[in-house]
A and B are shown apart, each in its own frame.
Chain A
Amino acid sequence: MLNIVVLVKHVYDENQLKVDRESGKVNFEGVPGKISDFDRSALEAALVLRSAGGGKVTSLTLGPEEAVKSLREVMAMGADQTILIKDQSFYKMDAAATARVLHRALEKAGPVDLLICAEGSVDSYTSLLAPMLAEKLHLPLITYAQSLQVKDGTVRAERALEKRVEVVEAKLPAFVTVTGEINDPRIPTLLQIMAAMKKPVSTFTLADLGIDPRDLGAGGYRLIEYSAKSRERRRAMLEGTVPEAVSKLVDSLAREGLVS
């Protein structure tokens, strides 16, 4: 019986962000939230392990009340249990503060065999949380897993690195971050969606975890502002017959070092 905990994050839907073209300022007002894309892959990985060897999948998030929507989504996909640490100021927290909160929450939630999260969240994509949290929990950490197996108390993963694949193992309990390539997350049925709406969500506040929110900001970094970077596309027309244009294209790609 594996106890798997999957960390998920409720983020702004980046497709619906409004950017002021002049100033580059990003307007978050009225932008709906969604589950961070690769978190669904993390959950899918957990569900696959559960169906192979049995166990329980718990999903944990830190966020505002609205984050319950993401938890409902993971319940529709098949998570057995979900926990929301409700806090309106979470977006001001840096990864260290978030790791502190999640650390406390995991201690409260009971023993964990395998902790899984995505390699990064689609909003800030710092990829800092997992190493920080692993350190606090004294768990071995495997990052960028593109495949995952659990056997005889050991987790084995293929790590997708830039030019090679590493196969690594760790004894459970362990912490794994997965890439989006690890799987194709399942799409829930209407029946599963309707059932998920009726399931309970355990909710904690920072006070329940014995954390004073004023302590969290101290010593960490502070996000002051977001602005969008725009990049003009280079428009190039290649003249001539198709074979001529193709060889010009190949030449220019080679000059850029994009093909060799």
Chain B
Amino acid sequence: MVFPLAELGDYAITFRPEHEMFRKVVREFFEKEVEPRVSEIEENDRVPDDLLKKMGEMGLQGIAVPQEYGGQGGDQVSVAIFCEEAGRVYPAIMTLVGVNGLFTVPIMLFGTEEQKGRYLPPVAKGEKHSAHATTEAGAGSDVAGIQTRAERRGDRWVLNGRKAFISGGDIADYFVVLTRTSPPPSRKERWKGLTFFILEKGMRGFSVARKMNKSGLKGSPIVELQLDNVEVPDSNRLGNEGDGFKIAMETFDHARIGVAAQALGIAQSAFEKSLNYAMQRSTFDRLLIQQQAIDNYLADMLMKLVSARHMVYWASCLADAGRKEYLIAASMAKAYATEAAEFAAIKAISIHGGVGVVMDSHIERMLRDVEITKVYEGSNEIQRLVIIRQLLRQTLGFDPMGI
């Protein structure tokens, strides 16, 4: 055994020719269409509609959605490729696309045929936007701590509460919203009694309360959502009553690799820009690249970058192979890549010196953008718990939470 996996081959990463071609076209799109507009997006805190429309036409909003529902039928490796290339040029765009995944994934996994037919195609084609509303002011990584409630009234449900930090909520037409439908049976079973519903923009009592101002990921605004006696039919329930926690966890398991890949793209960009600068800028009559301290920074950045790349695509390959170990791999990739990217962003500022904190240089932006990646889709502290708890469950059959 090559603990915690069975054999060396389990650590393999395999790409097919279509992956490389897809990487090239995504890179071309981001360098040609997005990069020249980054300053404009930063300034307006909004990605222009024409850019979103173009991405929809290119199928980038539905990479992992099956073909029969209007998507591209791509695998996890393809999703990771998109997220990395987006992260390399402008990470907020990955978040804008990623929130559609947080809507489509739970519907693909748990939705009824009717729900899939109604909601997946317009989102996958980029004709409609969507968002995922689990987080509240008082509960994020602690999903079971949410306070929003849904009460059954005949064959309808009435939802009340407030959601916070909802990415894409300002432009979303569709939402999945997590609610508590029954009180937890005990302190140990707090995760029970949660249920998801699908909501649409404009439903009576459902509104965007306010936009929250934040430092990074400009262009992907976050909002608070207000639910004031929002009434929905039971057909809007997503999955079984009480299965909300499970649905949320499985959704985040998928999204984790995307966040890891997004951070990988930031690390890649930080390294490329730093190396380039170090080859041009001189101090004390020598190029920066001829200074040992700078070389040490760059070598550390590159080691972490390459390690992160291997973890991200390894986790993606395990997911595509349907291996349950991908849960551990995805959590490792998420925690590692986001911290590698933070390291790279900080070192990029050090290497660029004063230039690094000038906003027009887009170096400091990488640090602003990377911080949230350590937090969302389960904070890195939570990832570390997942890594060890899953490891114990999968390899030793020992459930540390069961005692």
Looking at the complex, which of A68-76, A143-151, A233-241 is the stretch in contact with chain B?
Answer: A68-76
Q: Of the candidates B18, B28, B29, B58, which one forms a contact with A194 in the assembled complex, judged by CB atoms under 8 Å apart?
A: B18
CA distance A76 to B24 in the complex (A): 13
Does the CB pair B67–A191 fall under 8 Å? yes
In contact, A190 and B29 (Cβ under 8 angstroms): no
Residues of chain A within 8 A of B25, CB atoms compared: 187-188, 193
Q: B59 and A197: CB pair below 8 A?
A: no
Q: How far is the CA of A187 from the CA of B24 in the complex (A)?
A: 10
- Decide if A230 is an interface residue (CB 8 Å cutoff): no
B17 at the interface (CB under 8 A from A): yes
Q: How far is the CB of B76 from chain A (nearest CB, A)?
A: 13
Categorize the interface residue count of chain A: 10 to 19
Is A51 engaged at the interface, CB distance under 8 Å to the other chain? no
Flag whether A189 is at the interface (Cβ < 8 A): yes
- Let me know if B22 and A193 touch, CB within 8 A: yes
Asked if A191 and B73 make an inter-chain contact with CB atoms under 8 angstroms apart, the answer reads yes
CB atoms of A73 and B21 under 8 A apart: yes
Task: Report if B122 contacts A (CB, 8 A).
Answer: no
Q: Is A190 a contact partner of B74 (Cβ separation < 8 A)?
A: yes
Chain A residues in 8 Å Cβ range of B187: none
Selected contact of A189 from candidates B16, B17, B28, B72, CB within 8 Å: B72
Tell me whether A189 and B67 are in contact in the complex, defined as CB-CB below 8 angstroms, given that A69-B17, A194-B18, A194-B73 are known contacts: no
Residue of A nearest to B57 (CB): A189
Residues of A close to B63: CB separation below 8 A: 190
Contacts of A73 in B (CB 8 A): 21
Chain B residue, CB-CB nearest to A190: B72
Interface residues in B3-46 (C-beta closer than 8 Å to A)? 16-18, 21-22, 25, 28-29
B73 and A72 contacting across the interface, CB-CB below 8 Å? no
Within 8 A of A (CB), among B41-79: 58-59, 63, 67, 72-74, 78
Instruction: Judge whether B17 and A197 touch: CB under 8 Å.
Output: yes
Pick from A187, A190, A191, A194 the residue with the most CB of B within 10 Å: A190
Residue-wise interface mask of A (191-209) relative to B, using a CB-CB cutoff of 8 A (1 in contact, 0 not): 1011011000000000000
A59 to chain B, nearest CB (A): 15
In the bound complex, how far is the Cα of B29 from the Cα of A73, in angstroms? 15
Q: Is the CB of A187 within 8 A of B29?
A: yes
Whether the pair B18, A197 counts as a contact (CB closer than 8 A) is yes
A196 to B25, CA, bound (A): 14
Q: How far is the CA of A72 from the CA of B63 in the complex (A)?
A: 20
Q: Whole-angstrom distance from the CB of B120 to the nearest CB of chain A?
A: 15
| Residues of chain B lying within 8 A (CB to CB) of residue A72 | 17, 21
Residue of B nearest to A198 (CB): B18
Given A69-B17, A73-B21, A193-B25, answer yes or no on A187-B73 (Cβ-Cβ < 8 Å): no
Q: Chain A residues near B18 (CB, 8 Å)?
A: 190, 193-194, 196-197
**Residue among B17, B29, B63 having the largest count of chain A Cβ atoms under 10 Å:** B17
A36 CB → nearest B CB, Å: 14
- Flag A32-76 by CB within 8 Å of B: 1 or 0 each: 000000000000000000000000000000000000010011001
Identify 5 new A-B residue pairs, CB closer than 8 A, beyond the known A72-B17, A73-B21, A189-B72.
A187-B25, A188-B21, A191-B73, A194-B72, A197-B17
A-B pairs, top 8 by smallest CB distance, nearest first, are A189-B59, A190-B72, A191-B72, A190-B74, A193-B18, A197-B18, A187-B25, A193-B21
Q: Return 21 A-B CB contacts under 8 Å, by A number.
A: A69-B21, A73-B21, A76-B21, A187-B25, A187-B28, A187-B29, A187-B58, A188-B21, A189-B59, A190-B18, A190-B63, A190-B72, A190-B78, A191-B67, A193-B18, A193-B25, A194-B18, A194-B73, A194-B74, A197-B16, A197-B18
